[in-house]
Amino acid sequence: MNVPAAWYLVLAAVLFGIGAFGLMTRRSALIMFMCVELMLNAVNLTFVTFARTLSDVGGQATVFFVMVVAAAEVTVGLGIVVAVFRRRSSTSVDELSELKG
């Protein structure tokens, strides 16, 4: 059974839209990180879909690098959020804007 590539692309667009909506409406840094990860995974699904459709390995190699960058982003971002949470007892982005100096 072959699933058309358009279905994967529609799913990726829906996931990206959910992530973008969550990023714009939520104020918690942790939720915002999760939304960015959802958006990156939607892009990864698009890359894999086109790699499969075009019989090219380049899209799958790009997905590997995007996953590495996403893991590094989560590690650094979570470290910053934990450090701020220990000082302020909140992960609200509105309160973090006070740290601009």
Q: Name the more confident of 88 and 42.
A: 42
Calpha distance 98→58 (Å, rounded): 43
Query: Could you read off the pLDDT of 44-53 as tens digits, one per residue?
Result: 999 999 999 9
- pLDDT tens across 61-83, in order? 999 999 999 899 888 888 888 88
CA pair distance 7, 96, nearest whole angstrom: 40
Set out the domains of the chain in order of their start, with CATH numbers: 5-100 (1.10.287.3510)
Cβ pair 80, 54 in contact under 8 A = no
Each residue of 14-41: pLDDT tens digit?
Answer: 999 999 999 999 888 888 889 999 999 9
pTM for this prediction: 0.82
Amino acid symbol at 15: L
